[in-house]
Amino acid sequence: MLAAGESCGDDHRALRGLSRHVAPFRYAGTGGVLVRRLKLDGEAGAGRFLARAMALAWTPWAAAAGRRALLVPVPLHRQRRRERGFDQAAWLAARIGRKLGLEVADAVLARQRSTLPQGDPRVLSRSGNVEGVFAVARPGCVAGRPVVLVDDVFTSGATARACATALMVAGAGEVAVLTACRS
């Protein structure tokens, strides 16, 4: 976990169009193990630990500029949600919202078509894989408001940027990202 104000040392081009990104863990190591336990095994204990860490990492912004922020989980396609039995981003967002007293809108973004998982070796371009995939189903919810995208992992930023583009077109005031891990 990085201390407040500490530089992550990364190339920040992945954050283009995003006001900020906060992730309490790196994917390599414990963070990735916890994400996989939640996402693939449905282990609620791992998810509760991740949600607490994410809420704690987001608290400084939530208490200041983010008091009006709307938490919006990055949606799974309905087919993948059926296969998995739940949507890990929506699950995390619900718990973070309760901890921080922030509104959660899990039906604001919609995934228009199924895509390969971003980490699949057949994906030659992460940006191309998610281009035009996300649409805002309820633009009135985001108009003029700061939005915090919630997801499990931030790797290239392609998914977050695709979601942010749709949200900004719908009138969101700004789009930030809160994930459990970053690569």
Determine the Cα–Cα distance for residues 47 and 102; give it in Å rounded to an integer.
Answer: 18
Question: What is the pLDDT, as a whole number, of residue 14?
Answer: 55
pLDDT of res. 8 = 56
Return the CATH number at 23.
3.40.50
CB 177 within 8 A of CB 20: yes
Residue 53 lies in a domain: yes
- Would 1 be classed as within a structural domain? no
Q: What is the spatial distance between Cα 37 and Cα 69, in angstroms, rounded to a whole number?
A: 28
pLDDT for position 106: 87
Taking residues 70-92, what's their average pLDDT?
A: 90
Does residue 84 contact residue 76 with C-beta atoms inside 8 Å?
A: yes
For residue 121, being part of any structural domain is answered with no
Mean pLDDT computed over 79-107 = 92
Domain containing 60 equals 16-116+126-182
According to DSSP, the β-strands at 70-73 and 25-26 are unpaired
User: Is residue 3 situated within a structural domain?
Assistant: no
Distance of CA 133 to the CA centre of its chain: 15
| pLDDT, tens digit, 9 for 90 and up, residues 133-170 | 788 999 999 999 999 999 999 988 889 999 999 999 99
Backbone angles phi, psi at 9, to 5 degrees: 80, 5
* Closest by CA position to 183, among listed 92, 89, 119, 96: 119
- Three-class secondary structure of residue 156 per DSSP: coil
Task: Decide if 2 is inside a domain.
Answer: no
Query: What radius of gyration do the chain's Cα atoms show?
Result: 15
Most confident of 15-19, 49-53, 76-80, 143-147: 49-53
26 within some domain: yes
Number of separate domains in the chain: 1
Return left, alpha or beta for 49; rule: phi > 0 is left, psi -120 to 50 is alpha, else beta. Answer: alpha
Question: Is residue 125 scored above 60 in pLDDT?
Answer: yes
Q: Is residue 10 part of a domain?
A: no
172 falls within a domain: yes
DSSP E strand stretches across the chain: 21-22, 25-26, 70-73, 103-104, 109-111, 134-136, 146-154, 174-182
Q: How far does CA 145 lie from the centroid of its chain?
A: 17
